[in-house]
């Protein structure tokens, strides 16, 4: 079971456990409600807490979008309603005690869940006030039965439960925000790498166009027919350059980045042999390269992305499969696709994304999808780990 599936399973289990606990507490509230006291305050303790408890369920059961404003506003309304009920019961009972055995445990549990949900997903400016109001409502609920010291202690315990729920929600919020920032940083670095590749690619082809144009000018006087060949080469180079620019310009680096960023040399499928040689010099598992088809004339962005797929696969093998005995790198070209696979036979269990949060794979996935391709990573049928990527070739030529 993959990590995302495991997280979804735990979320569903927690939701089911919360519903069961909530139902049991609601049943207890109903059976423990006053039967001997028919005052208005007693009736409030029988009907209103049950209604408020049910009203909390839609807030903490679904998954909310981060930063939502509706959630804290609804939580604040429920907290105000609960505090109003508490004040009304205390006023109607004259400060005495009621013949009841529950102040609304289901309502207390529901509001504690609301505190967690608000601190986890609510809009920051509204979440604090809503969480504080809900916590006060939870702490004040035992006062509906009186002001005995035992009831005050129960109020403090419920306040601690609300504080714990707020702490857990805030912790999960900080963790999620940190991961989002890390992913955004990886994507920004990937865009910067695209920008450097595009710079080198354009410089290479424009230089070739200029050289061919200069050559055509000199041969025009001696052999005019050769000018046609040079013009065809210039046309192909220009079309390839424009096609690559259209695909890559949308994912360029931040315009606020310094313009003098260092340029990285282009590395493509023609550099796979040195890459595997370097890997074999530092890893215990030998890597073998299998090539099927002619790899000449590939679009530069496809060639460089395929190189990075292989580099990511070898890096993952070195870090996460120290017991691997062999690594097979396959590059196959068909009329429409370039297929790349990196497979090892390591027995070390891994999940997707791999350890280290999988940020390398996240950035690589964005790069492959920007070219219209697909990429998958997971356990192989015969064991080990397999990284597959497919790059379309016809779209790279016709766009």
Give pLDDT, residue 102.
Answer: 73
Compute the distance between CA of residue 202 and CA of residue 238 in angstroms, rounded to an integer: 10
Residue 125, pLDDT score: 86
DSSP, res 338: E
* Backbone torsions φ then ψ of 217, nearest 5 degrees: -65, -35
Contact between 121 and 140 (Cβ < 8 Å): no
Q: Indicate the pLDDT class of residue 346, thresholds 50, 70 and 90.
A: confident
pLDDT at 194 (0 to 100): 67
Helix (H) or strand (E) holding 379: strand 374-379
Which pLDDT tens digit goes with each residue over 72-117? 999 999 999 999 988 887 877 666 555 566 778 888 888 998 999 9
**What percent of the chain is predicted at pLDDT more than 90?**
22
What is the average pLDDT across 242-258? 57
Q: In sequence order, what are the beta bridge partners of 160?
A: none
pLDDT at site 366: 81
CA distance 113 to 120: 11
């Amino acid at each position: 079971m993959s990590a995302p599936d495991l997280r979804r399973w735990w979320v569903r289990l927690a939701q089911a456990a919360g519903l069961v606990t909530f139902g049991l507490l609601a049943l207890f509230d109903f059976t423990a409600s006053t039967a001997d006291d028919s005052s208005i305050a007693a009736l409030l303790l029988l009907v209103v807490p049950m209604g408020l408890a049910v009203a909390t369920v839609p807030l903490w059961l679904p998954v909310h979008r981060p930063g939502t404003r509706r959630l804290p506003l609804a939580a604040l309304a429920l907290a105000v309603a609960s505090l109003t009920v508490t004040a009304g019961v205390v006023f109607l009972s004259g400060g005495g005690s009621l013949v009841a055995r529950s102040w609304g445990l289901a309502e207390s549990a529901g509001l504690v869940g609301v505190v967690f949900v608000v601190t986890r997903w609510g809009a920051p400016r509204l979440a604090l006030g809503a969480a504080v109001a809900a916590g006060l409502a939870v702490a004040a609920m035992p006062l509906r039965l009186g002001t005995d010291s035992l009831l005050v202690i129960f109020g403090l315990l419920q306040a601690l439960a609300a504080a714990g729920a707020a702490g857990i929600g805030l912790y999960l919020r900080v963790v999620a925000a940190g991961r989002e920032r890390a992913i955004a940083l990886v994507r920004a670095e990937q865009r910067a790498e695209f920008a450097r590749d595009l710079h080198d690619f354009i410089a290479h082809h424009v230089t070739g166009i200029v050289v061919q144009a200069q050559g055509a000018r000199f041969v025009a006087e001696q052999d005019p027919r050769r000018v046609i060949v040079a013009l065809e080469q210039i046309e192909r180079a220009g079309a390839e350059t424009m096609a690559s620019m259209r695909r890559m310009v949308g994912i360029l680096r931040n315009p606020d980045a310094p313009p003098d960023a260092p340029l990285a040399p282009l590395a493509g499928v023609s550099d796979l042999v040195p890459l595997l040689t370097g890997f074999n010099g530092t890893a215990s598992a030998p890597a073998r390269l299998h090539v099927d088809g002619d790899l000449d004339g590939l679009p530069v962005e496809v060639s460089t992305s395929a190189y990075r797929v292989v580099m990511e696969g070898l890096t993952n093998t070195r870090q996460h499969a120290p017991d691997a005995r062999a690594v097979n790198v396959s590059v196959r070209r068909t009329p429409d696709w370039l297929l790349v696979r990196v497979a090892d036979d390591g027995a070390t269990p891994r999940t997707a994304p791999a350890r280290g949060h999988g940020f390398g794979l996240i950035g690589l996935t964005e790069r492959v999808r920007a070219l219209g391709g697909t990429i998958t990573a997971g356990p192989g049928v015969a064991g080990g780990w397999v990284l597959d990527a497919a790059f379309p070739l016809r779209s790279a030529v016709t766009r």
